């Protein structure tokens, strides 16, 4: 009996990382606190609402990160930031962060926009997709666990797979630098 | 029939010999001893029980799928769950049930008995292969419980299973499961080839080998030639996913069709791996219950071998819809239809055997008759899918689902249930209930046809495979509901079978060594067989060793009785060749399997898994092969004796 | 064949048994040849089996002694088996020839003058492109609905941008896989006007079950008219409501993925919506294109088709009404 309990406990313990990594939330629901859309305007939604998972969940779900990767190209982030190496916009795969490297800071960058060309996507990208993009952007500099970060893409190889990248260490994880004009 | 040796009525000398053999051959006792066991009957039983458990699990998954499909646009399973369920169902049935049961379990248990030797060749490798298979299966199901169940189909086509469209670790666990089961099957294949070629009883020349053994031998060769294909494809997939290689990346010169070719190079012979043991069982049961030598032995053997060869020439018929050049289409259509000829020959020979024998209609033979009704129908629909134009319509529809369930359940599961009923007395020493057995058969037969026959119709009406739901008003709903009802009968039937096994195991009639009065050598020993298999190693005088035995059929003498000694014979004529010695039971196969498991699972998460994992594997292999002084000395003495 | 389709609740717009083009008709012919041969053979073989078992059955009480056999006693059986083998081979040959003839006929449908339509498989919808010789746009783009002139050879030129899909409208023609890295051609022709349903036949992920399309076969003039209308840019919004609706489209997430030719929306992630109101269904053939379905789809597509690429969208009730009014004008 003890043996069986132990076995169950081991299974549950094993299940925790697996569940998080493999979680696939298809219907994030229409939550009221969608910052990206400004204030909540209405309760009109179909299919019933469930609370969206906390932003940290996106960083732990391989599915969310792969969605982020898809959206990064679909929404043409690559048009300015290339595949992380930077072009018109700054590089995203290094340790240099003008406005900070924390998830909430990257989130604000996307939603609010930044001077010198970064547009605001407020209202254009649903909240949960912004978080998926944030998770993917962080994977570009090796901030996510390797079993969550994406592998190589089905396209022309341009850089190491995100999961194979060295983890960069941004100098100021906590304080925002002021942009130099 | 005097070669039959029973435990009763032994002379004093025989009793002493039995005690001596028992001391040398018995498996180590106790809980610890369980992990050291290397005898083929022990490992064979473990294979069979494990594979049957996986069969039950996959069957339950199928039940959930049938429930979901009983109603249009149902939400009993989410699409994510359904995709995992159908993938796990297919993967389990193919890799964890069908091949391990039809090939590994049956051949490991019965081939050494049927060729009349004391153990399988390379018994430690055999134990190792079982542990790898078990650990691979456990790994897949732990992953499944952790929401990491494979969800890209049992074939895991790229690019859907590739790094971009298969996020997370689900396809990686699938790919490594393949590695586990393939290493295990390859190990058993080598053992079977060597056992059949070198360990046969004296007198069992090639033309006297039982058909069942021929079948498993052909399968063993097919395993050796086909499995490298899938090992390559799944390993390349894993490399693409974890190491960033570009094998299947179309933009970097990779090729999505390469995966399909490699996969089906294995995947088509796979079908024959599963169904040739089925036909071998049918030959065995038909012979015993028709009370005559099988009609057309040579034709049957040649048909097995021919099927084994041809099976490698038709893999492309799984890929007709990809757009194949017309000349290749014609070739693969012709080859696919051609394979009906050896299969037809087998069927006609079996019918001829029954038509000219005395047919005793007991449960095993009922299952074989069920095999005829279902498998031949599956073979007929196989002609539809072999024809390129027709295949373009029915490919990837429920018609194909119906076709391969008729072929695989008809061709393998029906004979398997027959085989389990037939050999249950040998395994346990008890008879199964005849009445329950026939009820089980009829429930299964009716349930099977209710479940799978409407799938032909639903497929022709345009329902594709692998859909988690379907719209109402397509003309599919009623038929799907009938199919789901059929599942209930199948469920009841298999439960009844389990009850029959349980009841017979506890309180069945004692069977005696040869309850069916059959002719092959496994019936020449007590039921269940002792740990040394045969008190006197038999010799053979005809195709059915017990039926054809001479009045004073000699036995093998002169083997050492204080070691695990056995006789090797020559491949063609089975003339005695040399004396060899089996290794003793040991922990090392278990430890080596654990080390291999660690390396395989590690490589899912890091490319370094194999590199680092190779170190403990090497250590355990060194321990495994560390020479034992006494055994080495004995071998030297034997060699000197033999050269003199 | 008729027995199979005579079961109630069967419309026959997605089945290989109701062919409306020469491709599917040829295949059905071979299907019938194989069906009748195999059905007869199946019955004969099993009849023989049942009769032999019945005639030779023995009491269950004992297992009798094995019977002596000799070459002489098996001679009759030998002849029977050899005869059966010859008949088997001959019948296989007949079916093989029938199959080859159909393959050749399908191959001969290849026609350089055929109207070429590009079909791209996406997870989980179909992008359809027509060449356009008149008008400013050289390519006419639509989704999930393929209009065709009746009685004219068509070439479906297909490929995929993500995973392998399979293009299959069973009434019209056999299936053809659309594969990343490969271009595949499928020749077809429809001889009967009507709407014929098709569906993706290669497992392509979460919404493989909801990836269908319609082939709309219509007389040539009607088709030309449709193509000309389809080639035009979207109509400019006329009323205050639709003007606002367009604004909603351009300022919300819609614009990130969809194109409406003639406006600033030009993204190519999702289906082209320039003439969305002319299509009969939305969500890859899953839902009828009504204002209610469209509204529900916009608000929470994930509840209708979990895992699809269309995100849930939040907007006020009036914004949604205006947006829907605008989309309804895109004819």
Q: Over the stretch B259-275, which tens digit does the pLDDT of each residue have?
A: 999 999 999 999 999 99
Instruction: Report how far residue B62's alpha carbon sits from residue B242's, in angstroms, rounded to the nearest whole number.
Output: 31
pLDDT number for residue A13: 61
| pLDDT tier at B495, thresholds 50, 70, 90 | very high
The whole-chain average pLDDT of chain B stands at: 92
Which of A28, A45, A75, A130 is the best mutation test for C, with the most CBs of C within 10 A?
Answer: A45
Please determine, for residue B379, whether its predicted confidence score (pLDDT) is greater than 60. yes
Instruction: Report how far residue B579's alpha carbon sits from residue B582's, in angstroms, rounded to the nearest whole number.
Output: 10
Please determine, for residue B50, whether its predicted confidence score (pLDDT) is greater than 90. yes
Residues 44-63 on A with a CB inside 8 Å of C are 44-48
| B296 contact residues in C (CB cutoff 8 A) | 78, 81
Please determine, for residue B482, whether its predicted confidence score (pLDDT) is greater than 50. yes
Instruction: Report how far residue B224's alpha carbon sits from residue B262's, in angstroms, rounded to the nearest whole number.
Output: 15
pLDDT number for residue A31: 47
Lowest mean pLDDT across A97-101, A130-134, C50-54 = A97-101
- Pick the closest to residue A126 from A40, A12, A44 (CA basis): A40
**Closest C-chain CA to A120:** C251
- Nearest 5°: the CA angle B213, B217, B223 is 145
- Rounded to the nearest angstrom, the minimum Cα separation between C274 and chain B is 28
Predicted confidence (pLDDT) per residue in C281-325, tens digit:
999 988 999 999 999 999 989 989 999 999 988 888 999 999 999
Size of the B and C interface in Cβ pairs below 8 Å: 281
| pLDDT tier at C58, thresholds 50, 70, 90 | confident
pLDDT number for residue B557: 87
Q: How many CA atoms lie within 13 A of B113 on its CB side?
A: 29
**Closest B-chain CA to C162:** B159
User: Quick one: average pLDDT of B298-327?
Assistant: 92
Predicted confidence (pLDDT) per residue in A4-60, tens digit:
666 666 666 666 666 678 888 887 765 444 444 443 444 444 444 444 456 788 888
Predicted confidence (pLDDT) per residue in C240-297, tens digit:
999 999 999 999 999 999 999 999 998 999 999 999 999 999 999 889 999 999 999 9
Q: What percent of chain B has pLDDT over 70?
A: 98
Which of C25, C59, C81, C188 is the best mutation test for B, with the most CBs of B within 10 A?
Answer: C81
CA B121 to chain centre: 18
> Are B322 and C201 in contact (CB < 8 Å)?
no
- Pick the closest to residue C19 from C208, C188, C205, C234 (CA basis): C188
A124 touches chain C (CB under 8 A): yes
User: Quick one: average pLDDT of B301-311?
Assistant: 95
Predicted confidence (pLDDT) per residue in C77-127, tens digit:
999 999 999 999 999 999 999 999 999 999 888 888 899 999 999 999 999
Please determine, for residue B644, whether its predicted confidence score (pLDDT) is greater than 80. no
Alpha helices in A62-159 (DSSP H): 62-74, 78-81, 103-112, 127-140
pLDDT number for residue B260: 94
Q: What percent of chain B has pLDDT over 90?
A: 83
DSSP output for C54-120: HHHEE-SS--PPPPP--TTTTHHHHHHHHHHHHHHHHHHHHHHHHHHHHHHHHHHT--TTSEEEEEE
Q: What percent of chain C has pLDDT over 70?
A: 96
pLDDT number for residue C111: 85
| pLDDT tier at B603, thresholds 50, 70, 90 | very high
Please determine, for residue B119, whether its predicted confidence score (pLDDT) is greater than 70. yes
C272 touches chain B (CB under 8 A): no
- Pick the closest to residue C124 from C166, C174, C175 (CA basis): C166
Predicted confidence (pLDDT) per residue in A143-156, tens digit:
998 889 999 988 88
Tokens representing residue B547 in the block: 């039926």
Alpha helices in chain A (DSSP H): 2-22, 55-60, 62-74, 78-81, 103-112, 127-140
> Are C306 and A154 in contact (CB < 8 Å)?
no
pTM assigned to the model? 0.93
Please determine, for residue B241, whether its predicted confidence score (pLDDT) is greater than 60. yes
Instruction: Report how far residue B64's alpha carbon sits from residue B86's, in angstroms, rounded to the nearest whole number.
Output: 9
Please determine, for residue A137, whether its predicted confidence score (pLDDT) is greater than 90. yes
Please determine, for residue C1, whether its predicted confidence score (pLDDT) is greater than 60. no
Residues 133-162 on A with a CB inside 8 Å of C are 154
CA B524 to chain centre: 24
- Pick the closest to residue A155 from A101, A57, A74, A94 (CA basis): A74
CA C158 to chain centre: 13
Instruction: Report how far residue B572's alpha carbon sits from residue B200's, in angstroms, rounded to the nearest whole number.
Output: 10
Alpha helices in C188-239 (DSSP H): 220-231
Please determine, for residue B128, whether its predicted confidence score (pLDDT) is greater than 70. yes
| B251 contact residues in A (CB cutoff 8 A) | 154-156
Tokens representing residue C139 in the block: 């390519």
pLDDT number for residue A173: 59
Please determine, for residue B357, whether its predicted confidence score (pLDDT) is greater than 80. yes
Please determine, for residue B562, whether its predicted confidence score (pLDDT) is greater than 90. no
C110 touches chain B (CB under 8 A): no
Please determine, for residue B550, whether its predicted confidence score (pLDDT) is greater than 90. no
Tokens 């717009």: give the residue: C13
For residue B528, is the peptide bond before it cis, meaning its omega torsion is within 30 degrees of 0? yes
Predicted confidence (pLDDT) per residue in B526-538, tens digit:
989 999 999 999 9
User: Quick one: average pLDDT of B546-569?
Assistant: 89
pLDDT number for residue B5: 43
DSSP output for C130-191: EE-SSSS-SEEEEESEEEEETTS-EEEEEEESSS-EEE--TTT---EEE-TT--EEEEE---
Predicted confidence (pLDDT) per residue in B191-222, tens digit:
999 999 999 999 999 999 999 999 999 999 99
């Amino acid at each position: 009996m003890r043996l069986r309990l132990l076995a169950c406990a081991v299974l549950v313990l094993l299940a925790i990382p697996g569940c998080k990594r493999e979680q696939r939330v298809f219907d994030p629901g229409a939550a009221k606190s969608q910052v990206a859309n400004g204030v909540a305007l209405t309760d009109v939604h179909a299919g019933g609402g469930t609370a969206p998972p906390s932003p940290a969940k996106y960083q732990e779900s391989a599915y969310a990160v792969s969605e982020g990767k898809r959206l990064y190209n679909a929404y043409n982030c690559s048009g300015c930031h290339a595949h992380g190496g930077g072009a018109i916009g700054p590089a995203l795969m290094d340790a240099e962060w003008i406005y900070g490297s924390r998830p909430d800071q990257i989130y604000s960058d996307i939603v609010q926009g930044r001077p010198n060309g970064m547009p605001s996507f407020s209202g254009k990208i649903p909240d949960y997709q912004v978080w998926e993009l944030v998770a993917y952007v962080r994977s570009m500099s090796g901030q996510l666990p390797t079993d969550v970060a994406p592998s190589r893409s089905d396209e022309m190889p341009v850089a190491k797979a995100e999961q194979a990248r060295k983890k960069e260490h941004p100098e100021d994880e906590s304080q925002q630098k002021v942009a130099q004009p | 029939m005097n070669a039959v040796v029973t435990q009763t009525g032994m002379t004093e000398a025989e009793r002493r010999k039995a005690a001596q053999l028992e001391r040398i051959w018995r498996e180590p006792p106790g809980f610890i001893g369980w992990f050291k066991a290397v005898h083929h009957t022990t490992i064979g039983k473990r294979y069979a029980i494990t594979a049957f458990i996986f069969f039950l699990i996959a069957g339950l998954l199928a039940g959930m799928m049938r429930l979901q499909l009983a109603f249009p646009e149902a939400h009993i399973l989410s699409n994510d769950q359904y995709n995992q369920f159908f993938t796990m169902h297919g993967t389990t049935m193919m890799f964890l049930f069908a091949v391990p049961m039809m090939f590994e379990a049956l051949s490991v248990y019965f081939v050494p008995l049927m060729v009349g030797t004391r153990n399988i060749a390379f018994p430690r490798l055999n134990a190792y292969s079982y542990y790898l298979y078990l650990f691979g299966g456990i790994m897949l199901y732990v992953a499944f419980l952790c929401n990491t169940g494979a969800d890209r189909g049992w074939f895991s086509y790229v690019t859907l299973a590739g790094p971009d469209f298969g996020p997370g670790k689900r396809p990686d666990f699938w790919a490594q499961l393949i590695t586990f089961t393939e290493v295990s099957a390859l190990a058993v294949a080598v053992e079977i080839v060597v056992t059949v070629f070198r360990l046969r009883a004296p007198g069992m020349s090639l033309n006297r080998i039982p058909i069942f053994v021929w079948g498993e031998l052909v399968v063993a060769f097919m395993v050796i030639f086909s499995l490298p294909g899938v090992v390559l494809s799944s390993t390349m997939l894993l490399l693409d996913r974890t190491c960033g290689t570009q094998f299947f990346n179309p933009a970097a010169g990779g090729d999505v069709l390469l995966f399909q070719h490699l996969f089906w190079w294995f995947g088509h012979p796979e079908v024959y791996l599963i169904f040739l043991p089925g036909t071998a069982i049918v030959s065995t049961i038909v012979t015993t219950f028709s009370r005559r030598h099988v009609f057309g032995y040579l034709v049957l053997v040649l048909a097995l071998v021919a099927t084994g060869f041809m099976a490698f020439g038709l893999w492309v018929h799984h890929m007709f819809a990809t757009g194949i050049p017309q000349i290749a289409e014609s070739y693969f259509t012709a080859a696919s239809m051609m394979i009906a000829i050896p299969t037809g020959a087998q069927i006609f020979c079996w019918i001829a055997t029954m038509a000219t024998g005395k047919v005793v209609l007991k449960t095993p033979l009922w299952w074989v008759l069920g095999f005829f009704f279902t498998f031949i129908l599956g073979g007929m629909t196989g002609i539809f899918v072999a024809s390129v134009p027709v295949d373009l319509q029915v490919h990837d529809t429920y018609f194909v689902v119906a076709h391969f369930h008729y072929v695989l359940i008809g061709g393998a599961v029906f004979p398997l249930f027959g085989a389990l009923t037939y050999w249950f007395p040998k395994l346990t020493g008890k008879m199964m209930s005849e009445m329950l057995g026939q009820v089980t058969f009829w429930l299964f037969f009716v349930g099977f046809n209710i479940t799978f026959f409407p799938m032909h119709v639903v497929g022709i009406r345009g329902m594709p495979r692998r859909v988690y739901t379907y719209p109402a008003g397509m003309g599919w709903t009623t038929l799907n509901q009938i199919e789901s009802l059929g599942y209930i009968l199948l469920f009841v039937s298999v439960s009844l079978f389990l009850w029959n096994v349980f009841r017979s195991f506890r309180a069945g009639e004692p069977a005696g060594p040869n309850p069916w009065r059959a002719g092959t050598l496994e019936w020449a020993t007590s039921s269940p067989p002792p740990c040394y298999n045969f008190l006197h190693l038999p010799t053979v005088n005809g195709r059915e060793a017990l039926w054809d035995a001479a009045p004073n059929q000699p036995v093998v003498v002169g083997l050492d009785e204080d070691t695990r000694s056995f006789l090797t014979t020559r491949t063609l004529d089975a003339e005695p060749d040399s004396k060899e010695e089996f290794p003793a039971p040991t922990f090392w196969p278990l430890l080596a399997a654990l080390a291999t498991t660690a390396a395989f699972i590690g490589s899912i998460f890091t490319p370094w898994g194999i590199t680092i994992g190779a170190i403990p594997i090497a250590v355990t292999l060194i321990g495994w092969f560390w020479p034992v002084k006494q055994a080495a000395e004995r071998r030297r003495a034997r060699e000197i004796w033999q050269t003199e | 064949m008729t027995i199979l389709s005579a079961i109630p609740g069967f419309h026959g717009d997605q089945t290989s048994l109701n062919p409306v083009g020469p491709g599917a008709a040829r295949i059905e012919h071979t299907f019938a040849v194989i069906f009748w041969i195999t059905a007869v053979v199946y019955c004969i073989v099993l009849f023989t089996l049942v009769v032999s078992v019945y005639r030779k059955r023995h009491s269950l009480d004992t297992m009798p002694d094995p019977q002596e056999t000799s070459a002489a006693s098996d001679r009759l059986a030998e002849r029977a088996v050899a005869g059966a083998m010859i008949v088997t081979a001959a019948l296989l040959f007949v079916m093989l020839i029938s199959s080859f003839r159909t393959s050749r006929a399908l191959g001969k449908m290849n026609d350089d003058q055929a109207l070429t339509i590009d079909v791209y498989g996406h997870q989980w919808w179909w992008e359809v492109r027509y060449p356009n010789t008149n008008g400013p746009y050289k390519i006419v783009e639509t989704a999930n609905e393929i209009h065709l002139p009746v009685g004219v050879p068509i070439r479906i030129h297909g490929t995929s941008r993500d995973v392998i899909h399979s293009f299959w409208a069973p009434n019209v023609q056999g299936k053809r896989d659309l594969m990343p890295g490969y271009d595949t051609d499928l020749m077809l022709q429809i001889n009967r006007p009507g709407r014929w349903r098709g569906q993706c036949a290669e497992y392509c992920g979460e919404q493989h079950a909801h990836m269908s399309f319609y082939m709309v076969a219509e007389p040539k003039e009607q088709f030309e008219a449709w193509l000309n209308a389809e080639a035009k840019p979207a109509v400019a919004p006329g009323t205050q409501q639709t003007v606002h609706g367009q604004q909603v489209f351009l300022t919300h997430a819609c614009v990130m993925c969809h194109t409406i030719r003639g406006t600033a929306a030009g993204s190519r992630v999702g289906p082209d919506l320039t003439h969305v109101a002319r299509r009969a269904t939305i969500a890859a053939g899953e839902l009828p294109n009504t204002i209610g379905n469209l509204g529900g789809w916009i608000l929470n597509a994930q509840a209708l088709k979990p895992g699809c690429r269309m995100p849930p969208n939040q907007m006020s009730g009036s914004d949604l009404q205006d947006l829907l009014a605008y989309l309804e004008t895109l004819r």
